[in-house]
């Protein structure tokens, strides 16, 4: 498979993350990103190297200078440091201009490996899936490509190699509050120092020996025809640096890598896992929204609804972006339906759950676009603390790890989806009602069986809708009153909970969509409407579902109706056509 994603810290998309998580695409790292990584690492070496109190600073500085191009450091070596370290992992920000000295004048120990181990406590058996882990590591690498973390190039190469080989680490899910996924990220980083968390049975999995001689083809070759002397120098340096770095890794360890200044902080100081879960979920939500439109169209066919509500003139007059998008989708699905003939509709004005589909679904489309744009921007934004600045070569303490906007946008989207599912419930319940459905009466025992089955399905839908209403509650302000890390961590937006609740809502949502489609097909058959009279976007799905529905089951030998195969078929159909 050819490389398709070029990591540069500014153009990774949610679609790419989702494809990579499913192993359908590979990645490479841009030359520009390599230059930024080396440049920002130089700042770390020079700025922290000025403080002679930092343990082993001189040795680390000398070692790294041999591996990293130092073009930009000499002219800035005398600039002052305005802000020093501070993170969510227990290292407090110093009030002194000296980043290392505390009030007693003693040295704060280098965290490095201890920081990863101390933040890797294991609780529960809910491990991150391979899909989420894969996506999280890709996002983490993309953020490192900005250089703002200050991580050295050899660490980036190690991480890229591991991900390229799909050698995924173990990590526990459900450990974050939305201000850095530090616990799970620390667990995912343990293999860098030759360790790992236990398996569910308590046993330690083996750490595979790395074939360190194999340099991954993750970096594009330098330009053979540089536009300037400076470009030529940069290209040569990139190539030589990769070789030098690989040699350095060989000397360090076959199974681990020696972490240096700030690297352990950067490894655990991001929201990569939360973003990975959100990105994958947004891709799934897009499919669900397609399912909502399809199920609504099935209900319109079964109800013999009035399609004036989705006429282009209506959307043109009230041209909210989401409504127009939904209106176009509904029209495409209902193309060639007999319902466009006004004589087919039974009411001049349908109930609002039928008449307001494009408005309510349109609100969800607008919420989706807002949420999608926020998450897609965030997977390209560094949240490292402290931040490494290339403008004034200083370190800046900050709170970019807060994900309130992510929580707010996901809460909004979940609420909008819940509204769509609630009106689906209103429609599906009305379909068999005599005052609304007006289904032709029959004394046939099979039809009586069908009606009993429909009533049972309506009850199941009502149960799922009740769960959705509970899950739709916002999570942004649920966390409060806690004083963690001696008061340094006193707020959190609960973004992971917002994502988890949205995921659970989707599970219930597919049940509701499936039930609405099944009940609609029952009613369509009872009205004796042929599949060729349906909207063109419904016909193939209708024909595939019909054999799975017990339309003519015997009264003497009834069967238990299992909707799960139909739900799977609907999901696949919508996914393939979205």
Q: Is residue 341 part of a domain?
A: yes
- Is the backbone peptide bond immediately before 355 cis, with ω within 30 degrees of 0? no
pLDDT attached to residue 440: 61
Name the residue among 403, 406, 416 with its Cα closest to residue 365.
416
- 19, part of any domain: yes
In a domain, 487, yes or no: yes
CA gap 236, 419 in Å, rounded: 58
pLDDT of residue 388: 83
Tokens of 414: 């979940």
Residues 353, 300, single domain; the answer is yes
254 vs 252: CA distance, rounded Å: 7
What's residue 48's pLDDT?
67
Model pLDDT, residue 411? 99
pLDDT of res. 441? 57
81: Cβ–Cβ under 8 A, 6 or more apart, which residues? 47, 50, 97, 99, 394, 395
User: What is d(CA 493, CA 179) in angstroms, rounded to the nearest whole number?
Assistant: 8
Q: Give yes or no: residues 220 and 361 share one domain.
A: no
Domain boundary among 270, 289, 314: 270
Q: Is residue 399 part of a domain?
A: no
Is residue 44 located within the same domain as residue 118?
yes
Residues 169, 245: one domain?
Answer: yes
pLDDT mean values, one per 10 residues, the chain (578 residues): 81 97 95 94 76 43 43 35 38 38 38 87 94 98 94 94 95 93 96 91 69 43 39 36 35 58 90 98 98 99 94 94 97 97 83 97 99 98 87 87 97 99 97 70 60 91 98 91 73 94 99 98 92 97 95 72 97 94
Give the pTM: 0.83
Assess contact for 185 and 89: CB atoms under 8 A.
Answer: no
Residue 407: inside a domain: no
Q: Compute how many other C-beta atoms are within 10 angstroms of the C-beta atom of residue 173.
A: 18
Q: Are residues 284 and 297 in the same domain?
A: yes
Q: Domain span at residue 488?
A: 275-382+413-576
State the pLDDT at residue 284. 97
Contacts with 432 (C-beta within 8 Å, 6 or more apart), sequence order: 439, 451, 454, 455, 458, 519, 522, 523
Tell me: do 260 and 307 sit in the same domain: no
d(CA 535, CA 340) in angstroms, rounded, equals 9
CATH number at residue 130: 1.10.275.10
Task: Among 251, 270, 289, give the residue marking a domain's end.
Answer: 270
> Widest CA span of the chain, in angstroms?
94
Helical H runs in 431-478? 434-437, 445-471
* 387 domain residue, yes or no: no
Residue with tokens 């309130």: 404
Q: Does 347 share its domain with 260?
A: no
| pLDDT given for residue 78 in this prediction | 35
CA separation (Å) from 233 to 38, 74, 229, 238? Answer: 14, 17, 6, 9
pLDDT, position 252: 35
Tell me the CATH number at 313.
Answer: 1.20.200.10
Give the residue from 270, 299, 326 where a domain finishes: 270
Q: Is residue 483 part of a domain?
A: yes
Neighbours of 2 (CB within 10 A): 6
Predicted confidence at residue 77, as pLDDT, reads 36
Q: Which residues pair with 27 in a beta bridge?
A: 5
Helix crossing, 272-303 with 182-189: angle to 10°? 120
Within-domain flag for 95: no
On whether both 362 and 442 belong to a single domain, the answer is yes
Which single residue is written with the structure tokens 């176009």?
328
Tell me the C-alpha to C-alpha distance, in Å, between residue 411 and each of 291, 408, 438, 505: 20, 5, 39, 11
Indicate if 261 and 296 belong to the same structural domain: no
Number of domains in the chain: 2
Q: Are 255 and 300 in the same domain?
A: no
Residue burial 454-468, b: 16+ Cβ < 10 Å; e: rest: beebbeebeebbebb
What pLDDT sits at residue 537?
97
pLDDT at site 6: 96
DSSP 209: P
- Shared domain for 223 and 307, answered yes or no, is no
The reply to whether 250 and 317 lie within a common domain is no
């Amino acid at each position: 498979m050819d490389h398709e994603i070029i990591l540069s810290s500014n153009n990774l998309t949610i679609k790419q993350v989702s494809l990579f998580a499913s192993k359908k695409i590979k990645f490479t790292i841009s030359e520009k990103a390599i230059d930024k990584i080396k440049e920002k690492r130089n700042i770390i070496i020079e700025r922290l190297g000025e403080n002679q109190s930092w343990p082993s600073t001189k040795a680390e500085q000398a070692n790294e200078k041999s591996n990293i191009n130092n073009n930009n450091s000499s002219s800035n070596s005398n600039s002052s440091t305005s802000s020093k370290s501070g993170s969510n992992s227990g290292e407090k920000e110093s009030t002194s201009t000296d980043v290392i000295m505390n009030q007693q004048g003693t040295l704060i120990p280098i965290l490095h490996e201890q920081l990863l181990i101390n933040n890797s406590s294991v609780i529960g058996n809910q491990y991150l899936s391979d899909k989420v882990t894969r996506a999280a590591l890709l996002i983490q690498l993309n953020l490192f490509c900005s250089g703002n973390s200050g991580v050295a190039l050899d660490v980036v190469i190690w991480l890229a190699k591991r991900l390229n080989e799909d050698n995924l680490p173990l990590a526990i899910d459900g450990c974050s509050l939305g201000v850095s996924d530090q616990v799970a990220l620390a667990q995912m980083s343990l293999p860098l120092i030759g360790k790992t968390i236990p398996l569910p049975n308590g046993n330690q999995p083996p750490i595979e020996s790395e074939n360190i001689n194999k340099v991954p083809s993750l970096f594009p070759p330098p330009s053979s025809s540089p536009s300037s002397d400076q470009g030529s120098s940069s290209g040569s340096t990139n190539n030589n640096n990769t070789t030098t770095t690989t040699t350095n890794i060989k000397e360090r360890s076959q199974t681990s890598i020696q972490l240096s200044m700030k690297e352990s902080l950067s490894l655990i100081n991001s929201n990569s896992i939360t973003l990975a879960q959100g990105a994958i979920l947004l891709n799934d939500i897009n499919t669900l929204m397609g399912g909502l439109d399809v199920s609504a169209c099935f209900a319109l066919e079964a109800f013999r609804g009035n399609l004036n509500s989705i006429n282009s003139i209506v959307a043109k007059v009230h041209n909210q972006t989401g409504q127009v998008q939904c209106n176009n989708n509904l029209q495409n699905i209902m193309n060639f339906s007999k319902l466009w003939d006004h004589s087919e509709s039974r009411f001049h004005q349908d109930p609002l759950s039928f008449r307001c589909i494009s408005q309510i679904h349109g609100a969800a489309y607008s919420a989706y676009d807002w949420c999608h744009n926020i998450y897609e921007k965030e997977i390209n934004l560094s949240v490292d603390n402290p931040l490494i600045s290339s403008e004034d070569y200083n370190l800046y303490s900050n709170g970019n790890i807060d994900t309130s906007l992510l929580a707010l946008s996901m809460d909004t989207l979940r609420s909008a989806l819940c509204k769509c599912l609630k009106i689906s419930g209103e429609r599906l319940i009305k379909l068999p009602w005599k005052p609304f459905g007006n289904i032709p009466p029959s004394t046939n025992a099979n039809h009586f069986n069908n009606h009993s089955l429909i009533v049972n399905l309506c009850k199941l839908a009502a149960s799922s809708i009740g769960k959705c209403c509970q899950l739709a509650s916002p999570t942004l302000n649920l966390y409060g009153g806690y004083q963690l890390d001696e008061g340094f961590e006193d707020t959190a937006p609960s973004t992971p909970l917002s994502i988890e609740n949205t995921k659970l809502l989707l599970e219930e949502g597919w049940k509701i969509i499936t039930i609405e489609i099944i009940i609609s097909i029952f009613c369509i058959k009872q009205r004796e409407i042929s599949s060729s009279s349906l909207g063109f976007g419904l016909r193939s799905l209708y024909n595939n579902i019909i054999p799975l529905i017990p339309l003519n089951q015997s009264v003497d030998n009834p069967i238990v109706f299992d909707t799960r195969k139909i739900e799977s078929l609907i999901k696949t159909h919508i996914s393939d056509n979205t």
